[in-house]
Amino acid sequence: MGALAGVLMPRLGAAFSSAADPVRAVGAAAYMRDQFPFLGIDAPRRRALARGALAGLPTPSQSDLHDVAVACWARDEREFQHFACDYLVRHVTVPDPSFLPTLTFLITTKSWWDSVDPLATRVTGGLVRRHPSLVATMDAWSSDPNMWLVRTAILHQLHYGAATDEERLFGYCVAQAGHRDFFVRKAIGWALRHYARTDPEAVRGFLSGPGKALSPLSIREAAKHL
C-alpha cells in the first residue's frame, strides 16, 4: 500500500466506525438484497466523513487510486466501496489506459449495480472518452461472459450526449437483446432512454426496427419518455 493510502485508510476506517448505525445497517443491507454488510451510514454523512479523512491529502496519482480502491474493496462494509467509487469519479482525469486492469477487477469483484454503475458511466466512460483506443476493449466487454462487463460496455457512453457512437450503442443493444439477466436488459433500456434525450428520433427509429428484438423490459425503459 502506498503512502497516501496508508494515511487515508486508517482515517477513513476510524471515521466510518465512529458513525456506524447498526439499525440503519440492517435496512441498508436488506435494500441491497443482503449482498454486502453495511455500517449504516447514509450517503450525505459518508461523504462528509470522507471529506474530513481526505483533508490535507494531495491529489492522488494513478498508483494511489489503485491502492485506495483495492484497499476499499478488501473491506467488508459496502460504504468503503462506495467511497472508492466517489474517489475515482472525483479524480476521473488522473488514470491512463494502464488503469483498465484495476477497473476490470473492481467491476467484476463484489459486483452489484451500486458500484458497477458509477464505475461504468463515469470512470470507464471518462477513460474511454479520453483514450479512444479503448473502444476495442468495450467491444470485447460487450460480449463478455461476465454480465457486469457487458453492462459496463452498454452504459459507458451514458453521458456522452452528442458524442455518442450511435452505431456502437445500438449494436451492443441488439447483440445482447436476448440476454437473460435483468441487469443487462435494464442497462439496455437505460442507455437508450438516456440517449433519447439527445436524439429521440434515432431511438424511435431503432425501436421500430432492429430494437424490436429487445426484451419488453428494455423496450419499456427505452421508450419511457418518447
Cell numbers of 45, please?
454523512
Same domain as 76, residue 1:
yes
Same domain as 157, residue 55:
no
For residue 218, name the pLDDT band (cuts at 50, 70, 90): very high
Same domain as 222, residue 121:
yes
As a whole number of angstroms, the distance between CA 124 and CA 156 comes to 6
Same domain as 116, residue 90:
no
State the pLDDT at residue 16: 98
**Could you tell me the CA-to-CA distances from 187 to 20, 46, 110, 120, 155 in Å, in that order?**
32, 27, 18, 11, 7
Q: Is residue 104 part of a domain?
A: no
Q: Is residue 99 part of a domain?
A: no
Domain count for the chain, please give it: 2
- Domain enclosing residue 194, as ranges: 111-226
Same domain as 167, residue 73:
no
pLDDT at 1 over 80: no
What CATH code is carried by the domain that includes residue 202? 1.25.10.90
Give the domain-ending residue among 44, 66, 94: 94
Helices (H), the chain: 3-18, 22-31, 43-54, 62-74, 78-90, 100-108, 113-118, 125-130, 135-141, 147-155, 166-175, 182-195, 200-208, 216-222
128-148 mean pLDDT: 98
174-193 pLDDT per residue, tens:
999 999 999 999 999 999 99
As a whole number of angstroms, the distance between CA 49 and CA 79 comes to 11
